């Protein structure tokens, strides 16, 4: 694990940010940002042409291995680059889509199967194929209503995934379903064109360009080789909000004085700054843990980071809206959109209350383990 906080790591983070600016900054400002507000207003998904262009620039394959056309950069570097991309982009959905796509590609590569690498992962790295995970059912995984049944040497899938990011423009889905016979949770690659697959757009409060949709599976028959064996972004929203909020206050006057000269406003800005710095620190800490051994099923550091940063994102968003008064509520300014997008990201890895319960259970188990008397 790297030791965060050293001069070396500060320089490394700055260098990664500069690299992201140099390689992807022009694309984001010239191609992504100009249509971001219209996509949000019209609830339109990201154009696939933008994702293809991002793939050609090396953004989608940044963290994927060279064997499939990627660059083989590590998780820490990928996290910092995503942070910078999110800061530059007015379209919050961009970083979320490319991150989940890279995550699924890595999972496919982890199976060690050349067929999955060639048919899916390599095309995902190039931005030519989008495959988000389809897991969420608002229930415990072992209570999934989406089921898999082995038939004639293959599988039949039935069920619905009500909330899938990127569903509107996805080419395939990594679907998690419960095996009817064993009760195990299995993962399958379901292609959009498979018979029995249906996608319906789902209107959302925020992250509208991410193309959320529901995925229905009605007797979808898959060959056996479609079974996949072994099967954050909030802090960057805060940075973008903070960077946009203060310049907009510079020219505001109250009683002949600039609002930024009032102590109560300065205090609020200070609270926003603390929330931002603390959030970035815990996210960087979570990224650093990717260098060591990790629990395959539960990562307490990443879970704690997600819970903490989500709370800070809402705090910073409300502070920005309060500072801008009535203008904070108007859609002509970005503040209300930042709030909607932040709320959309919060549910990505489970409700805040559930995360706290999981962390409490983990901490209790560890404490009991340390104090257990050896036999």
Q: Is residue 373 part of a domain?
A: no
Question: Which has the minimum average pLDDT: 282-286, 293-297, 345-349, 362-366?
Answer: 345-349
Question: Residue range 92-103: average pLDDT?
Answer: 91
Report pLDDT for 235.
59
User: Do 23 and 101 belong to one domain?
Assistant: yes
Using one digit for the tens of pLDDT, what is the confidence trace for 227-277? Answer: 985 333 455 556 666 766 777 777 777 777 777 878 888 888 888 888 888
Yes or no: say if 174 and 189 are a contact pair by the CB < 8 Å rule. yes
Report pLDDT for 308.
84
Report pLDDT for 359.
80
Q: How far is CA 330 from CA 213, 270, 326, in A?
A: 27, 24, 7
Alpha helices in the chain (DSSP H): 7-27, 36-42, 48-56, 75-88, 93-110, 114-116, 122-125, 234-249, 263-288, 300-323, 335-346, 352-371
User: Do 319 and 256 belong to one domain?
Assistant: yes
Where residue 246 sits, what CATH number does that domain have?
1.20.140.10
- Among the candidates 125, 159, 176, a domain finishes at 125
Expressed in percent and rounded to 5, the helix, strand and coil fractions of the chain are 60, 15, 30
Residue 53 has pLDDT above 80, yes or no: yes
Question: Residue range 77-92: average pLDDT?
Answer: 91
Phi, psi of 185 (to 5 degrees): -95, 120
Cα 315 from Cα 234, distance rounded (Å)? 12
User: Do 139 and 77 belong to one domain?
Assistant: no
Question: What percent of the chain has pLDDT above 90?
Answer: 44
Report pLDDT for 330.
66
Yes or no: say if 117 and 66 are a contact pair by the CB < 8 Å rule. no
Question: Residue range 163-168: average pLDDT?
Answer: 94
Number of neighbouring beta carbons within 10 Å of residue 375 = 3
User: Do 312 and 247 belong to one domain?
Assistant: yes
User: Do 251 and 322 belong to one domain?
Assistant: yes
3-state DSSP call for residue 68? helix
Report pLDDT for 319.
82
Average confidence score pLDDT of the chain: 83
Phi, psi of 166 (to 5 degrees): 85, 5
Q: How far is CA 159 from CA 120, 176, 348, in A?
A: 24, 10, 21
User: Do 282 and 200 belong to one domain?
Assistant: no
Q: Is residue 305 part of a domain?
A: yes
Where residue 35 sits, what CATH number does that domain have?
1.10.540.10
Residues in a beta bridge with 190: 173
Using one digit for the tens of pLDDT, what is the confidence trace for 309-325? Answer: 888 888 888 888 777 77
Residue 2 has pLDDT above 50, yes or no: no
Number of neighbouring beta carbons within 10 Å of residue 251 = 9
Cα 43 from Cα 32, distance rounded (Å)? 15
Question: Residue range 167-189: average pLDDT?
Answer: 90
Report pLDDT for 102.
92
- Among the candidates 66, 92, 125, a domain finishes at 125
Using one digit for the tens of pLDDT, what is the confidence trace for 327-374? Answer: 666 666 666 777 777 776 666 555 677 777 878 887 888 787 776 655
User: Do 348 and 238 belong to one domain?
Assistant: yes
Cα 171 from Cα 112, distance rounded (Å)? 22
Residue 51 has pLDDT above 90, yes or no: yes
User: Do 253 and 193 belong to one domain?
Assistant: no
Q: Is residue 52 part of a domain?
A: yes
State which residues form the domain around 173: 133-228
179, exposed or middle or buried, with CB in 10 Å at 0-12, 13-18, 19+?
middle
Q: Is residue 215 part of a domain?
A: yes
Q: Is residue 374 part of a domain?
A: no
> Between these two residues, 256 and 193, which has the higher pLDDT value?
193
> What is the tally of structural domains in the chain?
3
Question: Which has the minimum average pLDDT: 109-123, 136-150, 152-166, 288-302?
Answer: 288-302
Cα 208 from Cα 87, distance rounded (Å)? 18
Report pLDDT for 131.
96
Question: What percent of the chain has pLDDT above 70?
Answer: 83
Residue 204 has pLDDT above 70, yes or no: yes
pLDDT band for 1, please (50, 70, 90 cuts): very low
State pTM to two decimals: 0.68
User: Do 68 and 163 belong to one domain?
Assistant: no
pLDDT band for 168, please (50, 70, 90 cuts): very high
- Among the candidates 188, 205, 228, a domain finishes at 228
Cα 370 from Cα 353, distance rounded (Å)? 26
Report pLDDT for 107.
86
User: Do 77 and 112 belong to one domain?
Assistant: yes
Report pLDDT for 202.
94
Report pLDDT for 178.
86
Task: Output the CA torsion sign for 252, 254, 258, 260.
Answer: negative
């Amino acid at each position: 694990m790297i030791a965060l906080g050293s001069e070396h790591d500060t320089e490394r983070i700055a260098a990664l940010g500069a690299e992201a600016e140099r390689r992807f900054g022009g694309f984001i400002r010239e191609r992504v940002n100009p249509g971001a507000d219209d996509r949000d207003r019209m609830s339109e998904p990201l154009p696939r042409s933008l994702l293809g262009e991002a793939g050609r620039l090396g953004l989608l394959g940044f963290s994927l291995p060279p064997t499939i056309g990627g660059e083989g950069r590590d998780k820490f570097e990928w996290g910092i680059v995503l942070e910078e991309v999110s800061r530059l982009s007015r379209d919050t959905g961009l970083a979320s889509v490319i991150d989940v796509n890279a995550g699924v590609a890595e999972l496919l590569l982890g199976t060690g199967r050349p067929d999955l690498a060639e048919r899916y992962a390599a095309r995902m790295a190039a931005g030519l194929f989008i495959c988000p995970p389809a897991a969420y059912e608002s229930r415990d995984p072992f209570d999934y209503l989406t089921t898999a049944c082995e038939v004639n040497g293959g599988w039949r899938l039935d069920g619905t995934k009500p909330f899938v990011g990127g569903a509107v423009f996805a080419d395939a889905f990594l679907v998690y379903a419960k095996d009817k016979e064993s009760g195990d949770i299995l993962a399958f690659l379901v292609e959009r064109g498979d018979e029995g697959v249906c996608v319906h757009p789902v209107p959302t409060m925020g992250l509208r360009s991410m193309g959320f949709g529901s995925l229905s599976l009605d007797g979808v028959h898959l060959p056996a080789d479609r079974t996949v064996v072994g099967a954050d972004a909030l802090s960057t929203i805060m940075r973008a909000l903070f960077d946009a909020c203060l310049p907009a206050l510079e020219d505001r006057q109250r009683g002949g004085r600039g609002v930024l000269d009032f102590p109560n406003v300065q205090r609020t800005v200070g609270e926003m700054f603390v929330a931002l710095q603390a959030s970035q620190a815990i996210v960087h800490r979570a990224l650093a843990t990717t260098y060591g051994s990790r629990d395959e099923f539960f990562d307490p550091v990443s879970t704690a980071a997600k819970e903490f940063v989500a709370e800070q994102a809402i705090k910073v968003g409300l502070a920005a809206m309060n500072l801008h008064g009535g203008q904070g509520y108007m859609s002509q300014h970005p503040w209300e959109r930042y709030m909607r997008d932040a709320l959309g990201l919060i549910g990505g890895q489970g409700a805040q209350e559930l995360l706290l319960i999981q962390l409490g259970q983990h901490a209790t188990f560890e404490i009991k383990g340390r104090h257990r008397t050896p036999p």
